[in-house]
Structure 1
Amino acid sequence: MEYKTLVEYYEKLERTSSKIEKAKILAELLKMCNPNDLERVIYLVQGSLYPKYMQIELGVATQLMIKVINKTIGVSREKIEEEFTKTGDLGLTVEKLIPSKKQVTLFKKSLTVEEVFENLRKVATASGEGAQEKKINILTSLLLMCTPKEAKYLVRTVLGELRVGVAEGIIRDAIVEAFFEKKKEVEEVIDYAWSILSDFAAVAKIAKESGLEGLKNIKIEFGRPIQVMLGEKAESIEEVVKEFGKVAAEWKYDGMRTLIMKKGNKILLFTRRQENVTAQFPDLVELCIKGIKAEECVVEGETIAVNPKTGDPLAFQVLSRRIHRKYEIEKMVEKIPIRIHLFDILYLNGEMLISKPLIERRKILENVIEKIEGKFELAKQIISDDVKEIEEFYQESLNAKQEGLMLKVLTSPYKFGRHVGGWYKIKPTMESLDLVIVGATWGEGSRANWLTSYELAVRDPDTGNFLRCGMMSTGLKEEEYEMMTEILKPLIIYEKGKEVKVRPKIVIEVKYQEIQKSPNYEAGYALRFPSFVRIRDDKGPEEADTIERLIELYKSQGKVG
């Protein structure tokens, strides 16, 4: 497939805001693809090159891309930056500037999707001495072959700013429409396949080549993390017990959701966000080898940090210092020891267990796990329909500095994703929002070298776009401003005066006084007096709170209108 064909479809997708229309446009494109281009196109419309769990990104900063544009079209860096300041979009900038370069039109050979995709993968995997020069050369050669329109989307792809509004739900609907007669069963099977494979490119290829039966027969694979099941918030213990009777009440630990894959003596550890943290937790790997009796299995638990002297649990923020650690790991093992509490088993020696009821999965888990006191244990659980007993159990959890309870329906299968029923969270009532940082402002005076105000956004689940809903500058300590600056600086897309725009990667928990209607933000609402609570290392931007959640909270204030 020629790249210009893909670009034509990018334009169609960008022009419509209709989720249904986007799915139809994408389905039309997918039908045109051969099996190899099908996978490439699915990745590219998501602005990616690999499944998310592989954690391979292009790693090209805005300034490096400006250098490439300067080298390719001969326009000065000052002119490029001046135009970029006006547009706020380096893709649009290069589209405007390229026509002045007459030699671009002399190239007769059209770019193909394969050439773009494979060369961008070379950029993403370039490392070591001379890596930056290699990236510049590859990107320059690609850009030289682009028409202005192709250049626009190539640059956007490289910077992770594609802006065509294709979220995961749209890709799912497009696969259904492209390869099946539209049926509810097909959507459920594709949801299942994606939850196991965590890769819509792989799902689309199986759908095209093997149909519905091929998708139904997918099993968990060692090394490929799954989408985990998430709980819904419940108003009260009484409400859940009234609806379901006896439930399994489990402590909800303040830790890192941990997916453990075991095959022989090989162990892999993944977070809820599908980050591979095996290297960061050699102590947990050792515990898994000792404590899991099965030859091959997938189990889930919650890893918490503990005080090295007393063994008492510590807050998740302490544990988070180990999650992204790349060096001095053994030192961190001693400084921040861990304990894991296991609560589910999804796969055992070739058999998928997700359709089995919770109570049966728990029994299987109990037979597979060899308890290691204070290190490797099952999640604390009682089975009861006595509200008072469960409330006392809830208070025990809070007294132990944990988050609350999960109430689980005894007959529930393991269903991937959120809002699927079966698991219900009971936590203290303070409302907060998990929001994405999309911009920031440099501070004044002694804080001039820190980013001290943060532009916050909710997620639009239909398009995957982020809608601004406020600015936050309170709730952080001095060292936290410094930490936030270190995290955000590599994500800066462009600067204008003291204001910067950043890639939407970082999720933070924010409390606020109230939500107000506001014409000043895309969300249509603004947070009044937002205040920082913590960074949500366990959540990616695709898990941030949605515009629907913001509206729901606004209405709950009694200010509907």
Structure 2
Amino acid sequence: MKQFAALYDAIDATTATSEKVAALVAYFRIANPADAAWAVSFLVGRRPKRLVKAPDLRLWAAEAADIPAWLFEESYAQAGDLAEAISLLVPEPAATTDESLAWWVEQRLLPLATMEPIEQRTALRAAWSELGGTARFLFNKLITGGFRVGVAEGLVVRALSQASGVPVDTIAHRLMGQWEPSGAWYEQLVHAHTSDADWSKPYPFFLAYPLEAAPESLGEVRDWQCEWKWDGIRCQLVRRNGRTMLWSRGEELLAGRFPEVEAVAEWLPDGTVLDGEMLAWRDGQPLPFSELQRRINRKTVGKALLADVPCHMLVYDCLEVRGNDIRSEPLRARRTQAEHIVGALPSGGSMGLSPIVDARTWADVTEARDAARERQSEGLMLKRLESPYGVGRKVGDWWKWKVNPMTVDAVLVYAQAGHGRRAGLYTDYTFAIWDGTTLVPFAKAYSGLTDAEIRDVDRFVRANTLEKFGPVRTVKPELVFELAFEGIQRSTRHKSGLAVRFPRMARWRKDKPAAEADTVETVRALLPA
């Protein structure tokens, strides 16, 4: 555990990518396989869910710190992070143990999930009496399900490659899909033999960068393939050994959730892997993402939901043909393979090709982007025709050019303190729009302001609080902000009758009084026809 804590401190102490990778490489070279396995799991984001109820955790921490519950709550509010508050308030132990990360996870952490509350209390008090400093902080983070560290998965993959000598693409592929951390698993992960991929695994997804320059900066339009950017679930369909596996980009196995697509996949040749987008679909058109969410959250889908929200996979790319990995071939060749494979499927099924936008000039591309919302699309994808299918996000070959966001001017009405580095500052905001003479809550937003603006809003909140409801402050309705968002739909769950996707603050409208903020009627005009 102390080695893992030292690694966390080393990563946390620098912003330099090379230094983060060096720290990871050094750790993987000395850690035993079981420790390294759990470290990889946590570093790539596969942390356990919350194992202990937060109210119980706060109560037991207050007892261990020998302070009143109210004082712990006030301290927690100031720290903004439960794991940190516990680490700071519970006295350091007289001596600490030298048990490994794997021991702490397997013997102390995971058993908490099946314990009764009284057993959890005893186990936690014992753990806090044996762990100190960063090790205790990390243990607390894992208990709360809030473990994060400042490294992207790509850096972890690079470090594993450098430590083991196994190619980066091989490490990335081995990390895909479902696996359980163990010493044996880690030894296989870094083994020199490179032709051992599990038949069910997808390939690492290739991702696009946002296009911020003019499209003309990409060169000749004839060198690019232009596609619609759909608002669904990016997925890979793996057809091997007579079985079908559907994987989301988040490496979740979607077995049974899209049976209409799995049924069509039965017609695919064995040894086929397709990359595409899962969409809620009716009458040849995508439905709003909110409809797809009704399917995502169901592990089994009844007949009524299948009929109400039919789904369809639009194929972008072909990654494997007859068991041969063709990712290194240019996009134009892979697209031809996808056309042959999908074109041979029975008509009327729940799978098709994502259409290519016919654009012979950059002006045509721009015109298509401007019309994207009419096709229920988020914008365009621009892919170099000679590009291989890479791993992760790489600059140069694939770009996403989204439509400009919708915007609304709304009034700040509620504020709540943030967490982590924003602890102690009011950074989580609720905004309202006018419904006649009444302001009705419309959206919440947390991002978009500079640090200086956050401090200014924080001072306003403290000086203009009207009411307090726990951590929430009602403020004078004076500040107006322009909110940007990607989509809008009707909602019975929101007082305004509207719900938006990915709201964020585009700018502080210091030039506009609250009375001139948008109304429910003007915002409804943004709803798709």
User: Which residue pairs with 1:31 in the alignment?
Assistant: 29
User: Which residue pairs with 1:500 in the alignment?
Assistant: none
Structure number with greater Rg is: 2
Aligned in 2, Cα 1:323/1:111: closer, same or farther, shift over 3 Å? same
In structure 2, list runs of 5 or more residues that go unmatched: 457-478, 489-501, 508-529
Q: Displacement, 1:323?
A: 1.8
Conserved in 2, the CA contact under 8 Å of 1:516 and 1:528?
Answer: no
Q: Displacement, 1:67?
A: 4.2
Residue identity opposite 2:336 in structure 1 = K
Aligned in 2, Cα 1:473/1:530: closer, same or farther, shift over 3 Å? farther
Aligned in 2, Cα 1:224/1:405: closer, same or farther, shift over 3 Å? closer
Conserved in 1, the CA contact under 8 Å of 2:225 and 2:356?
Answer: yes
Conserved in 2, the CA contact under 8 Å of 1:58 and 1:120?
Answer: no
Aligned in 2, Cα 1:164/1:384: closer, same or farther, shift over 3 Å? closer
Deviation string for 1:28-86 (max 9, x for gaps)? 3322212222222333456745xxxxxx5344443232244357666654454344334
Q: Does 1:366 align with 2:351?
A: no
User: Which residue pairs with 1:437 in the alignment?
Assistant: none
Q: Displacement, 1:220?
A: 6.7
User: Which residue pairs with 1:377 in the alignment?
Assistant: 352
User: Which residue pairs with 2:491 in the alignment?
Assistant: none
Aligned in 2, Cα 1:76/1:112: closer, same or farther, shift over 3 Å? farther
Q: Does 1:57 align with 2:49?
A: yes
Deviation string for 1:174-206 (max 9, x for gaps)? 4455456xxxxx8xx425632562499899756
Residue identity opposite 1:157 in structure 2 = L
* 2:28 partner SS: helix
User: Which residue pairs with 1:84 in the alignment?
Assistant: 76
Q: Displacement, 1:299?
A: 0.8
* 1:368 partner SS: helix
User: Which residue pairs with 1:226 in the alignment?
Assistant: 204
Conserved in 1, the CA contact under 8 Å of 2:330 and 2:386?
Answer: yes
Deviation string for 1:133-174 (max 9, x for gaps)? 665565454334324653233112322445653443543454
Q: Does 1:335 align with 2:269?
A: no
Structure 1 distance, partners of 2:74, 2:208, is 46
Alignment of 1:317-332 (within 5 A): 317-325=290-298, 329-332=302-305
Aligned in 2, Cα 1:21/1:311: closer, same or farther, shift over 3 Å? closer
Conserved in 2, the CA contact under 8 Å of 1:231 and 1:406?
Answer: no
Conserved in 2, the CA contact under 8 Å of 1:47 and 1:157?
Answer: no
User: Which residue pairs with 2:430 in the alignment?
Assistant: 473
Q: Displacement, 1:237?
A: 5.4
User: Which residue pairs with 2:138 in the alignment?
Assistant: 153
* 2:268 partner SS: coil
Structure 1 distance, partners of 2:155, 2:202, is 23
* 1:66 partner SS: helix
Alignment of 1:153-192 (within 5 A): 153-162=138-147, 165-172=150-157, 174-175=159-160, 178-179=163-164, 189-190=167-168
User: Which residue pairs with 2:226 in the alignment?
Assistant: 249
Structure 2 distance, partners of 1:63, 1:359, is 56
Structure 2 distance, partners of 1:509, 1:90, is 20
Aligned in 2, Cα 1:9/1:20: closer, same or farther, shift over 3 Å? same
Q: Displacement, 1:226?
A: 2.7
Structure 2 distance, partners of 1:417, 1:466, is 30
% of aligned pairs identical?
21
Alignment of 1:487-502 (within 5 A): none
- Equivalent residue in structure 1 for 2:127, among 142, 147, 152: 142
- Equivalent residue in structure 2 for 1:422, among 397, 405, 411: 397
Conserved in 2, the CA contact under 8 Å of 1:234 and 1:425?
Answer: no
Structure 2 distance, partners of 1:288, 1:97, is 56
Structure 1 distance, partners of 2:366, 2:163, is 50
User: Which residue pairs with 1:40 in the alignment?
Assistant: 38
* 1:408 partner SS: strand
Q: Displacement, 1:355?
A: 0.5
TM-score, with length taken from structure 1: 0.65
Aligned in 2, Cα 1:250/1:454: closer, same or farther, shift over 3 Å? farther
Conserved in 2, the CA contact under 8 Å of 1:472 and 1:530?
Answer: no
Structure 1 distance, partners of 2:261, 2:272, is 16
Deviation string for 1:70-115 (max 9, x for gaps)? 5766665445434433433434433444438xxx54x786432221
Conserved in 2, the CA contact under 8 Å of 1:198 and 1:227?
Answer: no
User: Which residue pairs with 2:461 in the alignment?
Assistant: none
Residue identity opposite 1:142 in structure 2 = A
TM-score, with length taken from structure 2: 0.69
Structure 1 distance, partners of 2:44, 2:369, is 41
Q: Displacement, 1:344?
A: 0.9
Q: Displacement, 1:354?
A: 0.7
Q: Does 1:529 align with 2:521?
A: no
Residue identity opposite 1:342 in structure 2 = V
User: Which residue pairs with 1:113 in the alignment?
Assistant: 101
User: Which residue pairs with 1:447 in the alignment?
Assistant: none
* 1:115 partner SS: helix
Conserved in 1, the CA contact under 8 Å of 2:176 and 2:201?
Answer: no
Residue identity opposite 2:150 in structure 1 = G
Aligned in 2, Cα 1:470/1:88: closer, same or farther, shift over 3 Å? closer
Conserved in 2, the CA contact under 8 Å of 1:116 and 1:142?
Answer: no
More helix by share: 1
Structure 1 distance, partners of 2:406, 2:304, is 37
Aligned in 2, Cα 1:43/1:18: closer, same or farther, shift over 3 Å? same
Q: Does 1:356 align with 2:329?
A: yes
Q: What is the number of residues matched between the two proteins?
A: 457
Q: Does 1:278 align with 2:255?
A: yes
Aligned in 2, Cα 1:326/1:78: closer, same or farther, shift over 3 Å? farther
Q: Displacement, 1:275?
A: 3.2
Residue identity opposite 1:116 in structure 2 = W
Deviation string for 1:322-361 (max 9, x for gaps)? 2223576443222211222212111234321110111211
Structure 2 distance, partners of 1:74, 1:470, is 31
Residue identity opposite 1:533 in structure 2 = F
* 1:303 partner SS: strand
Q: Displacement, 1:116?
A: 0.9
Aligned in 2, Cα 1:315/1:516: closer, same or farther, shift over 3 Å? same
Structure 2 distance, partners of 1:347, 1:239, is 32
Structural RMSD (CA) = 4.7
Conserved in 1, the CA contact under 8 Å of 2:208 and 2:400?
Answer: no
Structure 1 distance, partners of 2:3, 2:236, is 40
Residue identity opposite 1:285 in structure 2 = E
Residue identity opposite 1:168 in structure 2 = E
User: Which residue pairs with 2:265 in the alignment?
Assistant: 288
Structure 2 distance, partners of 1:400, 1:419, is 28
Alignment of 1:200-215 (within 5 A): 205=187, 209-210=191-192, 214=193
- Equivalent residue in structure 1 for 2:289, among 301, 307, 316: 316
Conserved in 2, the CA contact under 8 Å of 1:475 and 1:533?
Answer: no
User: Which residue pairs with 1:261 in the alignment?
Assistant: 238
Conserved in 1, the CA contact under 8 Å of 2:231 and 2:279?
Answer: yes
Structure 2 distance, partners of 1:430, 1:359, is 31
